[in-house]
Amino acid sequence: MRALFSYGLALLILLGAGAWLATGTLVVGGNGPGNGETPIVSVIEGQDHGPLATTLGDAGLLASHHEPEFDPALTIAQRNETTTGANAPLPSVRTQQFTAQPMPIEVPLRGRTQARATVSAVAETAGAVDVVHVTKGQRVEAGDLLCTLDQGTRAAAVAQAEAAIAQANAALAQARLNSETNADLRSRGLAAANTANAADVALTQAEAGVSQAEAGLQNARAELDRTEITAKVAGLVQDPVANVGSMLNAGSPCATIVQLDPIVFAGMVPERHIGLAKLGLEAKVQTVTGQTVEGKVTYIASQADGATRAFPVEIELPNEDFAIRDGVTAQAIVDVGTAPGHLLPQSVLTLDDDGVLGVRTVEDGQVAFHPITIVSDTREGVWVTGLPPVSEVITVGQESVTAGQAVNASPATAATETAAS
């Protein structure tokens, strides 16, 4: 019984396999689809469309063969030409209209901050330092006292000059009285006429004596004032700072002041952008320490650096709280104006067969390729130039079409535009 069951099962499997094979196709010497293909049931029956083949076909069990839509001998390029013929459907693309608008032109610069000036407060006369009124790092304003020198005999010289003025004024008063008396005597005939010249000379000498005494007093007071060294500019006190008791000669520094308000950003403009640089342009400077401040271009060099061929520029920045320090690396963005441009999503950018970056548009029902230049990359998209003022840009399907190809263009939906952006 077990043997009969086994043989019976094998026979059923064999019959099933034969029936499955009979529904297939036999290929003899075929070179492609539709060439040499014959249903196996037709080979068994010895004729095409026999009773068994008809029954299996009506039951949907017979393998059906469809003639190919193209010649199997054609290459892929020839098939594409055939499918894009006059009777073939046009490829569909999605487009979105972009209109030119004012595009900000910004030139990035790298550089560093630097103090507007570093001024040494020097002694104008010789003397020992009596008092130092400031310390390193202290903020000072113009006119603040920095150092006081030993006055020595300068106060006595002022007193002496004041006494000389009093003496000169007394001599002048006497000379005026003598001149008036001489004039009165001459008017009454009591003095010779030639005495008038002597009286006038004496008066002139007395007046000169007063002027000389006043100049002496001014010099004495100025020399006394030179013992007090004051700040000429506002800023921070830095080394070197004089010590009490040290001897300063004329020209020796009492303290050094770094002028930080306003502070200056010093950078280099590449020669390709120097034609856009102008005094007074607005600029935004950001330091590596995270500080951001706005200023204006105040200096543009007329001669390029010999090594880099770039032009030094300076941007003056307000720094009232001295928060920005001297020598900090920074980057500046200079706004040089606007120009017509298009703000596009990055997804619409593509390359042509020559590797040129551009955008494909639809013009009069045909695809056009426009090479573009990227001016800046922002969060909203990329600013480009090179497109017509109003352009129907292909946002979906631009990679599957070529320039000059006729297409079926339809406006992109809101969801597609959002995805493209």
Q: Is the pLDDT of residue 117 over 70?
A: yes
For 262, residues 6+ apart whose C-beta sits below 8 A from its C-beta are 116, 295, 316, 317, 318, 319
The structure tokens 């030409």 sit at 81
Q: What is the DSSP letter of 406?
A: B
What pLDDT score does 418 carry?
45
Confidence bin at 419 (pLDDT 50/70/90): very low
Per-position b or e across 70-89, b if 16+ CB within 10 A of its CB:
eeeeeeeeeeeeeeeeeeee
Which among 415, 339, 393, 418 is positioned nearest to 98, based on CA atoms?
393
Domains and CATH numbers, the chain: 1-88 (no CATH), 92-102+340-420 (2.40.420.20), 151-226 (1.10.287), 255-338 (2.40.30.170)
Q: Is the pLDDT of residue 224 over 90?
A: no
Range among 45-59, 72-86, 175-189, 296-310 rated most confident: 296-310
Whole-angstrom CA distances from 15 to 20, 49, 177, 276, 384 are 9, 22, 161, 89, 72
Distance CA 315, CA 293 (A): 11
Residue 179 has φ and ψ, to the nearest 5°, of -70, -40
What pLDDT score does 345 carry?
93
Are the CB atoms for 277 and 329 separated by under 8 Å? no
Which of 158-172, 319-333, 341-355, 376-390 has the weakest average pLDDT? Answer: 158-172
